[in-house]
């Protein structure tokens, strides 16, 4: 017998009889009870935002959600195309609370089912799954609960619906809705086709009066139509949300010493979760070992590992026991971890659909997340080689076209977001997105007419019979055996480009290809001139043209910028994150199921210390308020009481003490950060604690005297309790680290 956790009644309350949640009748909003809400007839299609707040912790619906839910409640078939993190699940989870019958969710992965069901239970919604991970006794208990109408949502795999005995059992239940998640799996035109999804048309024939909602995050126009045809969604209402993930920032970087670039990037993301995708299992294993050696907590994931190891590694990643998962594309589908702060592609993805879905695993909680792709022409050739092995000409052509699309994305000098959205048929009207490297740091251009003519002349002299690398070998005066044997050391263009590195010539040739000055043709691609380039060469030879052409200045690998944040706020966020992890481990849940990062950041910013204020935080429903509210409010109060930096002495051999010794050797901050492999922010924190502990440190070594005076004036004016208003007043020329050191000295 279940006991109410609030009133400790020895019998089930009426709410428990509904199979909804563990809240006792004491927790009700004024003049409202939950039972009447749940018993509403779906045909009335009434949307009640109190249900949204109580169960899901949101005060408003997101884009299109309310319209979709209304159509579902009216009994219409619906196709939903909504980006990852856009709120697809709510479109069937909310109606399940209003329907008197059962909602069946078709889901492709066991891990995804378990995560979804655990999350629903955390919110107080009765949900179960039936799959191969359960034994006969478990399934029998769930079936009994289904017959008693004590379950709102049931998750199943597509194969289970084709089992005659199970289908017969379902026909004996009152079913209000079928939800087909990851619906793009039904289409062979999609990037993740699964033959078992083709069998789902059995839903329409076996349950002709039950509406269906099909949901996906990635589907081109062709895939959308295929979904409707294959499932036979009659009179289907289509809802297509914007593909734009505004919180994702896209970067494409030249693949020059990619590992060093990855390490520099990871230093800016301490304790943050991320995925690094590699093309092969071998690359996954090598990169994982190198990251471990560099001091990062990383695990591998690929099909070459046993199922137990894959499952264990994924579980550790989801539970924040490790920050980094290095994986092939075998990992990711259905991963419902909202606090993934970055996705890195160490190798080129096969197509833009795969890239969009893989990057879409970042930032599902709506917070800023980075998507970094390392690109080299060698990766393109690797994929082209495998494409050329395809025996089906149609499939080979489709794969080549998709590869060209991802290459265009990598090489473009215009807004990457605009190009990505355009691929899915969505027009992006903004001139700058402020969320990709091309818009954030526009590329410098240089006048490169001479270099272009050198490239075109070399290709012409080679009779348009060689590829990119060979052409560059000739330009740079290579003494390779192939160049020597072909007698190309005697060409006029031989060595004409030896003043520039090969990578620069690669960049120039790639841009000429993207601007249609050159073509790549043949099974083993060779460079070919086209009309534009022939005219340019002819004009140069005759001396009748003075045309000047500008190309993007070749890029070099850059150190990622460190984004400064309010350290008081971040300190509380870290404290709440630690508390969340402790609770999650005790309950054997992934931390995000307690509260996601976006919710914790709101707590850190607003610092709620009463149930009324805590309830206003996005993501806090009644069940979570009851279960965790007092614990988190207690942590917030403790932090607020200790808001001033601690004045405890620094222990010898501590990290701060090591920094102090280096300062005593007259090392500057750059030397210390490099030698200690720590961020500048961390070193500033060390110096602040050392000053507060009484160490005599001259901050004029690190901050100009004029800046110290300005910072001091602003601290006097605004007070030094919180840093954010001080930083806003001072502007971009002053860092949080500098402000902290001046404040510590003043105190």
Which domains are seen in the chain, by residue range? 40-240 (3.40.50.300), 248-440 (3.40.50.300), 445-552 (1.10.10.10), 567-641 (1.10.150.80), 655-746 (1.10.10.1390)
For residue 169, the SS3 value is helix
pLDDT of residue 495: 92
Q: Minimum mean pLDDT among 39-43, 159-163, 344-348, 429-433: which range?
A: 39-43
Q: CA distances (Å), 67 to each of 71, 80, 557, in order?
A: 6, 11, 46
Residue 581 has pLDDT above 60, yes or no: yes
Q: Where are the beta strands (DSSP E) in 385-511?
A: 445-447
Cα within 13 Å of Cα(140), Cβ side: 3
How much of the chain exceeds pLDDT 70, in percent?
87
Closest by Cα among 59, 68, 71, 102 to 88? 68
Choice between 199 and 168, residue whose per-residue pLDDT is larger? 168
Q: Minimum mean pLDDT among 98-102, 137-141, 518-522, 531-535: which range?
A: 518-522
d(CA 15, CA 24): 7
d(CA 425, CA 242): 10
What is the strand order of the sheet 78-81 is part of? 127-130, 153-156, 102-106, 175-180, 212-216, 78-81, 237-240
The model's confidence at residue 6, banded by pLDDT at 50, 70 and 90, is very low
The model's confidence at residue 342, banded by pLDDT at 50, 70 and 90, is very high
d(CA 460, CA 339): 53
User: Is the CB of residue 373 less than 8 Å from the CB of residue 253?
Assistant: yes
Is the alpha carbon torsion for 600, 606, 608, 612 positive or negative? negative
The per-residue b/e assignment along 223-249, b for 16 or more CB within 10 angstroms, e otherwise, is bbebbbebbebeebbebbbbbbbebbb
d(CA 372, CA 155): 34
Closest by Cα among 572, 569, 570, 565 to 633? 572
d(CA 301, CA 330): 8
Rounded mean pLDDT, 55-81: 90
Rounded mean pLDDT, 648-668: 71
Give 259: exposed, middle or buried? Use CB within 10 Å, 0-12, 13-18, 19+.
middle
d(CA 290, CA 262): 11
User: Which residues is 325 bridged to in the sheet?
Assistant: 275, 299
Whose tokens are 């630690």? That residue is 578
Residue 606 has pLDDT above 60, yes or no: yes
Is the alpha carbon torsion for 11, 13, 14, 19 positive or negative? negative
Those residues whose C-beta lies under 8 Å from the C-beta of residue 682, and which sit 6 or more positions away, are: 270
Closest by Cα among 293, 259, 294 to 278? 259
Give Cα 45 to chain centroid, integer Å: 34
Choice between 535 and 548, residue whose per-residue pLDDT is larger? 535
Give Cα 519 to chain centroid, integer Å: 35
Residue 19 has pLDDT above 80, yes or no: no
d(CA 429, CA 426): 10
Q: Minimum mean pLDDT among 67-71, 107-111, 244-248: which range?
A: 107-111
User: Is the CB of residue 358 less than 8 Å from the CB of residue 329?
Assistant: yes
How much of the chain exceeds pLDDT 90, in percent?
32
pLDDT of residue 417: 93
Residue 10 has pLDDT above 60, yes or no: no
Is the alpha carbon torsion for 597, 117, 100, 63 positive or negative? positive
Q: What is the DSSP letter of 618?
A: T
User: Is the CB of residue 341 less than 8 Å from the CB of residue 269?
Assistant: yes
Q: CA distances (Å), 471 to each of 99, 468, 480, 527, in order?
A: 68, 5, 12, 8
pLDDT of residue 558: 54
Q: CA distances (Å), 368 to each of 339, 576, 727, in order?
A: 10, 19, 20
Chain segment 530-546, per-residue pLDDT in tens: 998 898 888 887 776 66
Average pLDDT, the chain: 82
Quote the pTM value. Answer: 0.66
Closest by Cα among 148, 128, 130 to 18? 148
The model's confidence at residue 560, banded by pLDDT at 50, 70 and 90, is low
pLDDT of residue 694: 62
d(CA 72, CA 501): 60
Strands 340-345 and 369-375: parallel
pLDDT of residue 693: 63
pLDDT of residue 26: 35
């Amino acid at each position: 017998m279940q006991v109410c956790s609030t009133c400790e009644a020895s019998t089930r309350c009426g709410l428990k009889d509904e199979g909804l949640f563990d809240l006792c009748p004491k927790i009700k909003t004024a003049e409202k009870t939950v039972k009447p809400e749940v018993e509403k007839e779906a045909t009335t299609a009434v949307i009640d935002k109190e249900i949204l707040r109580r169960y899901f912790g949101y005060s408003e619906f997101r884009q299109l959600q309310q319209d979709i839910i209304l159509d579902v409640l009216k009994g219409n078939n619906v196709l939903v195309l909504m980006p990852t993190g856009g709120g697809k699940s709510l479109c069937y989870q909310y109606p399940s609370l209003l329907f008197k019958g059962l909602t069946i969710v078709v889901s492709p992965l066991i891990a995804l089912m378990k995560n979804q069901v655990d999350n629903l239970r955390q919110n107080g919604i009765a949900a179960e799954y039936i799959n191969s991970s359960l034994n006969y006794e478990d399934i029998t208990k769930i079936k009994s609960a289904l017959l008693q109408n004590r379950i709102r949502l049931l998750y199943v795999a597509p194969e289970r619906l084709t089992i005659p005995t199970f289908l017969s059992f379902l026909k004996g239940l009152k079913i209000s809705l079928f939800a087909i998640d990851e619906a793009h799996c039904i289409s062979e035109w999609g990037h993740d086709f699964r033959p078992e999804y083709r069998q789902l048309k059995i839903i329409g024939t076996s349950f002709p009066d039950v509406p269906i909602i099909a949901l996906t995050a990635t589907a081109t126009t062709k895939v959308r139509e295929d979904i409707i045809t294959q499932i036979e969604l009659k009179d289907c209402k289509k809802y297509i949300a914007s593909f734009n993930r505004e919180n994702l920032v896209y970067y494409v970087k030249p693949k020059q010493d990619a590992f060093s670039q990855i390490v520099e990037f990871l230093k800016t993301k301490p304790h943050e979760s991320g995925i690094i995708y590699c093309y092969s299992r071998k690359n996954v294993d090598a990169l994982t070992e190198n990251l471990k050696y560099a001091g990062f907590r990383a695990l591998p994931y690929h099909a070459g590992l046993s199922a137990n190891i894959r499952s264990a590694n994924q579980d550790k990643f989801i539970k924040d026991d490790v920050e980094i998962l290095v994986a092939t594309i075998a990992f990711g589908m259905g991963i419902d971890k909202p606090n993934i702060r970055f996705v890195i592609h160490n190798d080129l993805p096969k197509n833009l659909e795969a890239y969009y879905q893989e990057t879409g695993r970042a930032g599902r909680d709506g917070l800023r997340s980075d998507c970094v792709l390392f690109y080299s022409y060698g990766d393109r050739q690797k994929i082209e080689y495998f494409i050329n092995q395809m025996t089906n000409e149609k499939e080979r052509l489709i794969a080549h076209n998709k590869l060209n699309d991802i290459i265009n994305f990598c090489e473009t000098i215009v807004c990457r977001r605009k190009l990505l959205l355009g691929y899915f048929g969505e027009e992006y009207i903004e001139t700058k997105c402020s969320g990709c490297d091309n818009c954030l740091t526009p590329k410098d251009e240089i006048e490169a007419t001479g270099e272009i003519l050198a490239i075109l002349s070399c290709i012409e002299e080679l009779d348009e019979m060689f590829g990119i690398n060979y052409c560059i070998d000739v330009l740079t005066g290579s003494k390779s055996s192939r160049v020597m044997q072909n007698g190309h050391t005697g060409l006029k263009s031989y060595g004409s480009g030896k003043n520039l590195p090969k990578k620069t010539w690669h960049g120039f040739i790639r841009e000429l290809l993207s601007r249609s000055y050159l073509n790549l043709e043949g099974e083993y691609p060779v460079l070919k001139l086209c009309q534009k380039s022939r005219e340019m060469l002819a004009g140069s030879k005759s001396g009748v043209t003075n045309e000047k052409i500008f190309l993007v200045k070749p890029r070099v690998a850059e150190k990622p910028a460190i984004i400064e944040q309010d350290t008081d706020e971040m300190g509380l966020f870290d404290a709440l994150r630690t508390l969340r992890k402790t609770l999650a481990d005790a309950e054997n849940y992934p931390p995000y199921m307690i509260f996601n990062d976006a919710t914790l950041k709101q707590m850190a910013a607003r610092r709620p210390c009463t149930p009324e204020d805590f309830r206003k935080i996005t993501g806090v429903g009644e069940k979570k308020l009851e279960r965790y509210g007092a614990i988190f409010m207690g942590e917030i109060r403790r932090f607020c009481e200790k808001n001033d930096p601690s004045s405890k002495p620094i222990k010898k051999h501590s990290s701060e003490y090591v920094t102090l010794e280096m300062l005593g050797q007259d090392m500057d901050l750059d030397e210390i950060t490099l030698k200690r492999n720590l961020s500048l922010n961390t070193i500033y924190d060390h110096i602040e604690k050392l000053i507060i502990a009484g160490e005599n440190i001259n901050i004029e070594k690190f901050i100009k005297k004029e800046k110290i005076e300005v910072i001091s004036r602003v601290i006097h004016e605004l007070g030094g309790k919180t840093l954010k208003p001080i930083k806003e007043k001072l502007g971009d020329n002053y860092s949080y680290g500098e402000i902290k050191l001046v404040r510590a000295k003043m105190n």
